[in-house]
Every structure is written in structure tokens, then in C-alpha cells.
Amino acid sequence: MSSLKLYHFPISGPSRGALLAARSIGVPVQVEIVDLFKKEQLNEKFLKINPQHCVPTLDDDGFIVWESRAIACYLADKFGNDDQLYPKDLKKRALVNQRLYFDSSSLYVKIRAICFPILFCGETEIKPHLQEDLNITLGVLEQFLNNSTWVAGDNATIADTSIYASLSSILAVGWNISQFPNIERWTKQCASLPGYEENEEGAKTFGEAVKKNMK
Ligand SMILES: N[C@@H](CCC(=O)N[C@@H](CS)C(=O)NCC(=O)O)C(=O)O
């Protein structure tokens, strides 16, 4: 019997992104918590599994892969019941990939730039240029949703689970998205994603940890 283990920390947006994808795919994963606040990612045992010592990390019967979006793609390709979550059609897949890279290289990066210094470097305020930078990126997400129910088409894909996991972190900090009506509509829709509540719990803890350090 094969075993699928996800090394996970619920406060981490990328980690929640991989789990949210697994929940949508419907594949059972055994979740093993790596407590980043206790620096458990630096334990010798975990370093042997992932020398980059980050969560999420997937172990599929000895096959190890990390990077949340790579994990989501792998799980969807291997265990998806159909190709709705990660289309096989070249152009549809390219659009999902584009949104995944948008999250990985832009949205998540801007959110991290705001939250990391407050969580770990003693800062107590959000710098105005970082605030503006994130809102510019949210403007792009708003455009994706102009004529599209989900971020990459008419049904939810792993681009939605990834982007929602990122966005929910900053929403939990109290980010105002009232100037982005499409994003507001889409975030409400995301409540229908399997694993939504579990994601919200982790995002809430993340938001509280950031807010606790803010003036
Ligand atoms: N691009 C990676 C980011 C992973 C990442 O940075 N994980 C952080 C938590 S949000 C982590 O494990 N940090 C601990 C460390 O690097 O030692 C992904 O999407 O999986």
C-alpha cells in the first residue's frame, strides 16, 4: 500500500496551498506537522528529506518533491479524477500555469514582503510602498477575474487553491479589498472549495501572529 505524506505547517500560506489542492483533488494525505516556530524544519531527519528545509514537502512512497505548486501539479496529474483541476488541454493548462507562476513570483512574494518583517524582524508597520505594490498586483488578479468565474476559467483549478491560500493570509491580517469587486466575489466563491475551513483556521492564526506585532 502506497503512502502519501505531506510535511505541513498550517500557518504557512504555501503549505496550506498544497493541502488545499490535495483536498480538492480528494486524495488522502497523511499530514505531518513541521513546527517552524520551533525550528523543526532544521531537524536532521527533515534536512535529509528536504535540504532546503521548507514546507510543504511531499513524500509519495519515497519520492520527495517540494514547492507547493509543483506538489499541486503532481497530485492533480497523478490522482485527479478528471482534468478539471489541472487541464490536459495545452492552452488551458498554460493559463493555469501562468496563474500559478503569477502567485509564486508576484502575489505571494508581495504578501511575504509585507508580513515577514513584521513577523520576524521587529517591524511594526506596513511600509506604504509595499502596500501599494501589493494593491497593484491585486489589480492584476482583479483583471483575471473580469470575464472569468475562477482565476483560470469556468471551473476551479489548482490556480485557485494556490492563489486563495496566499490571499487568505493577507485577508486574515485585515487587508481591504473593497476596491476589487471581482476578488471579493471570488473569495466568497472559494468557500465552496474542499478544505476551505481548514485553510481559514491556519490563515487566521497567521493573521493573528502578524497583527500581534503591529502598532
Ligand atoms: N516557494 C515555496 C515557499 C516555501 C516556503 O518558503 N516555506 C516556508 C514557510 S512559508 C518555510 O518552510 N520556511 C522555513 C525555512 O525555509 O527554513 C513553496 O511554494 O512551497
In a domain, 84, yes or no: no
Per the domain annotation, does 121 fall within a domain? Answer: yes
Same domain, yes or no, for 195 and 118? yes
What averages of pLDDT result for each successive group of 10 residues across the chain (215 residues)? Answer: 87 98 98 97 98 98 98 98 97 98 98 96 95 98 97 98 98 98 98 98 98 95
Which atom of ligand 1 is closest in space to residue 56's alpha carbon? Answer: 20
Dist. CA 122 → ligand 1 center (Å): 20
Residues 75, 94: one domain? Answer: no
Q: Kindly list the protein residues whose Cβ atom lies closer than 6 A to any atom of ligand 1.
A: 12, 14, 36, 41, 53-56, 67-68
Same domain, 25 and 50: yes
Evaluate whether residue 103 is within a structural domain: yes
Which residue's C-alpha comes closest to atom 1 of ligand 1?
Answer: 67
pLDDT at 2: 55
What is the structure's pLDDT at 3?
87
Q: What is the DSSP string of 6-53?
A: EEE-TT-HHHHHHHHHHHHHT---EEEE--GGGTGGGSHHHHHH-TT-
- Is 82 in contact with 24 (CB distance < 8 Å)? no
Q: Note the pLDDT of residue 1.
A: 45
Residues 6+ apart with CB under 8 A from 7: 32, 34, 46, 49, 50, 55, 56, 57, 58, 59
Domain end among 54, 79, 104: 79
| Nearest CA, atom 6, ligand 1 | 54
Q: Give me the helix-helix angle, 128-144 and 181-189, nearest 10°.
A: 70
State which of 79, 104, 122 marks the end of a domain: 79
Residue 14 structural domain:
4-79
CATH code of the domain containing 143: 1.20.1050.10
Task: Give the chain's domain count.
Answer: 2
Helix (H) or strand (E) holding 161: helix 158-173
**C-alpha of residue 207 to centroid of ligand 1, in Å:** 17
- Same domain as 206, residue 122: yes
- The answer to whether 112 and 167 are in contact (CB under 8 A) is no
CA trace torsion 44, 48, 49, 52 (10° rounding): 90
Task: Report pLDDT for 189.
Answer: 98
Other beta carbons within 10 Å of 79:
16
Residue 21 lies inside a defined structural domain of this protein: yes
Q: Among the options 2, 3, 12, 106, which is catalytic?
A: 12
19 with 73, same domain: the answer is yes
For 66, list phi and psi in degrees, rounded to 5: -125, 180
For residue 86, give the nearest of 98, 78, 96 by alpha carbon. 96
Report the alpha-carbon distance of residue 19 to residue 21 in Å, rounded: 5
Question: Contact, 43 vs 194, CB < 8 A?
Answer: no
The verdict on whether 12 is a catalytic residue reads yes
